[in-house]
Structure 1
Amino acid sequence: MNQFNKNSVVLLVLLLAGVIVACNRRDAEETAGTSRVIKGLYSYGPEIKSFTDCEEGREYWVTDSAKTLELAYSNFNFEKPYEPVYVEVECHMIKSDSLIVSADFDSTMVVTKVLKITKEIPDGPCN
């Protein structure tokens, strides 16, 4: 019985170590600036620029380094701000600045290229 308890403790420690490593790796990937394509809903207005990843449901603050996402959004001429649009963008994630509104978001999505933007939200996890 004593050997069983030792094995259980060792197994638990290994399991916890694996979880910690996996979480740290994901955080490191988000802050490493690795470019990727992401799909989801983008909302823009005077105070908030946000993106919701359709697959994971995570919400990000958006910085438009290409200066094309905000322009494309404003070309839709919405009557009111914050109307969601479906976008596919090339981006990388950075840690949000704790001194501005983006601190309310887990990460900041830095958009480098707009691949698609449309008012029509496709069926599936985004809808």
Structure 2
Amino acid sequence: MCSRYKLFGGVLLAVSFLWACGNNKNTEQEKGKSITLKGLYSFGPEVKSFTDCDEGREYWVADSAKNLELEYTNLGFEKPYTPVYIEVEAHLVKSDTSTVTGGYDSTMVVTKVLKVSKDIPEGPCNQ
């Protein structure tokens, strides 16, 4: 009777271990994967933030494309931090908890700007 419990426990442990290892690989692959994000971007002297309209998550923005901040500035806002609708290709990295980015879900590293618009489309972004 006792050996059945040991065998069952061993099988359960092995399955748990394999499942955990498989999930870590998927998570690591997703971190470096480029994705398309749509949402609201705000830019100013101290904040560069993005809010994903579908999930409501807020990200710090790193503009590796060097176009996002320029396109935002070219829209000619009188005040900073006015939200605009953007569509970008980016990848997500963990935010550094010892800096201002630590208060955000992750840091969104923009690799390509697809769209920047003052017009916020109807739907979850416009609520």
**TM tier, smaller:** 0.7 to 0.9
Say how many residue pairs are matched: 109
Pair 1:79 & 2:51 matched: no
Distance 1:81 1:123, change over 3 A: same
Where 1:72 maps in the other structure, the secondary structure is: helix
Q: Distance in 1 between matches of 2:91 and 2:25?
A: 15
Shift of 1:26: 8.1
Where 1:41 maps in the other structure, the secondary structure is: strand
Structure of higher CA gyration radius: 2
Distance 1:85 1:28, change over 3 A: same
* Correspondence for 2:55: 56
Q: What TM-score do you get using the length of structure 1 for normalisation?
A: 0.77
Distance 1:27 1:108, change over 3 A: farther
Structure 2, unaligned runs of 5 or more: 1-15
Identity, % of aligned positions: 64
| CA RMSD, 1 decimal | 2.3
Distance 1:43 1:27, change over 3 A: farther
* Correspondence for 1:116: 115
Structure 1, unaligned runs of 5 or more: 1-16
Q: Distance in 2 between matches of 1:43 and 1:103?
A: 17
Q: Match for 2:85: what amino acid?
A: Y
* Correspondence for 2:104: 105
Q: Distance in 2 between matches of 1:44 and 1:27?
A: 30
Q: Distance in 2 between matches of 1:95 and 1:70?
A: 21
Q: Distance in 1 between matches of 2:32 and 2:47?
A: 22
Show structure 1 runs of 4+ deviating over 3 A: 23-30
* Correspondence for 1:36: 35
Q: What TM-score do you get using the length of structure 2 for normalisation?
A: 0.77
Q: Distance in 1 between matches of 2:28 and 2:99?
A: 22
**1:15-34 paired onto structure 2 within 5 Å:** 28=28, 32-34=31-33
Shift of 1:97: 1.2
Q: Distance in 1 between matches of 2:26 and 2:47?
A: 25
